[in-house]
Copies of this chain bind each other. A is one copy, B any other.
Amino acid sequence: MATELETGLPSVRQLQMLIRDKQEVEIKLMTSDVITGKVQWQDVYCVCLSDLENQSIVIWRHAIAYLKPKT
């Protein structure tokens, strides 16, 4: 895996927009946990959310099943 994010990819850009817009998201994990928060940053291995109490949660990409905007 390249260690630089391919910023041209739709999935990478979608995450960048969610960071910029401070959009609340729901991430469903392979463990079936659902984590809600705002995306702080992404790199090739991880996506970092800050939850409602402003706590940072570093999520490994391999553990993510899906992501959707919180409605």
A44 with B9: CB separation less than 8 A: yes
Give, as a whole number of angstroms, the nearest-CB distance from A4 to chain B. Answer: 9
Task: Indicate whether A11 sits within 8 Å of B58 (C-beta atoms), given known contacts A6-B3, A28-B33.
Answer: yes
| Residue in B41, B44, B55, B60 whose beta carbon sits within 8 Å of that of A65 in the complex | B60
Which residues 1-45 in A have Cβ within 8 Å of B in the complex? 1-3, 6, 9-12, 14, 28-33, 35, 41, 43-45
Bound: A56/B69 CA distance, A: 7
Closest B residue by C-beta to A49: B66
| Interface residue ranges, A against B (CB under 8 Å) | 1-3, 6, 9-12, 14, 28-33, 35, 41, 43-46, 48, 55-69, 71
